[in-house]
Amino acid sequence: MANPNLQDIIEKQVLTVAKAVEDKIDEEISALDRLDLDDIEALRERRLQQMKRMAEKRSRWISLGHGEYTEIPSEKDFFSAVKASDRVVCHFYRDNWPCKVMDKHMSILAKQHIETRFVKIHAEKSPFLADKLKIAVLPTLALIKNAKVDDYVVWDLMSWEGQMSLAQRIWRRDWLKLK
């Protein structure tokens, strides 16, 4: 077992931290107890405004194609889509099984993460774009933030077999909130 002196020190530290947390919670409870009807109404109004802003954002996202996984027909349309949304995950694909697997996962993620637009573009039909963004392996996901490529998720069969979900791969790059 640990040294008795060390154990006493650890116990004292834990008690100190617990006391500090308890004091903080007591302060918050006291502040809530002191609220009157005007304060509660102000909080309610503020929350209502937040909810309205979020609903407006959500309807704007839906109008831009968020919540769906869509194909971009041309390179020109790619630039329009990227400029219209703050966050875009673009799947560069060709007709093969790894890309079809990626499509399946992207469709699911698009519905779960409406804050990000999920699109795909055929890499072989978009040589300028694939070259400009240095797409070498298919499938590749370009994670685009504010019209600039922020990061890539590249298909690697060895690391995709049961290790980590696509959502986790994107989330690790600070892109999605896991649900």
Tens-digit pLDDT profile for residues 68-101: 999 999 999 999 999 999 999 999 999 998 899 8
| Residue 158 buriedness (CB in 10 A; 0-12 / 13-18 / 19+) | exposed
pLDDT of 158 reads 45
Q: How far apart are CA 45 and CA 23, in angstroms?
A: 29
With respect to residue 178, please indicate whether it lies within any of the assigned structural domains: no
With respect to residue 179, please indicate whether it lies within any of the assigned structural domains: no
Q: How far apart are CA 118 and CA 143, in angstroms?
A: 10
With respect to residue 148, please indicate whether it lies within any of the assigned structural domains: yes
Q: Look up the pTM and report it.
A: 0.73
122, 117, 113, 94: which is closest to 165 by C-alpha? 113
How many residues does this entry show for the chain? Answer: 179
pLDDT at 164 over 50: yes
Decide which of 41, 61, 81 is a domain's last residue: 61
Retrieve residue 96's tokens.
């093969």
Retrieve residue 103's tokens.
């499509």
- Which carries the bigger pLDDT value, residue 138 or residue 156? 138
Q: What b/e sequence results for 116-143 when a residue is b if at least 16 CB atoms lie within 10 Å of its CB, and e otherwise?
A: bbbbbbbbeebeebbeebebeebbbbbb
Same domain, 49 and 90: no
Same domain, 71 and 159: yes
Same domain, 74 and 56: no
Same domain, 52 and 94: no
Q: How far apart are CA 99 and CA 105, in angstroms?
A: 10
With respect to residue 177, please indicate whether it lies within any of the assigned structural domains: no
Decide which of 44, 61, 78 is a domain's last residue: 61
Report the run of H or E that residue 151 belongs to, with start and end.
Answer: strand 148-154
* Number of structural domains found in the chain: 2
Same domain, 40 and 119: no
Range of the domain at 103: 67-171
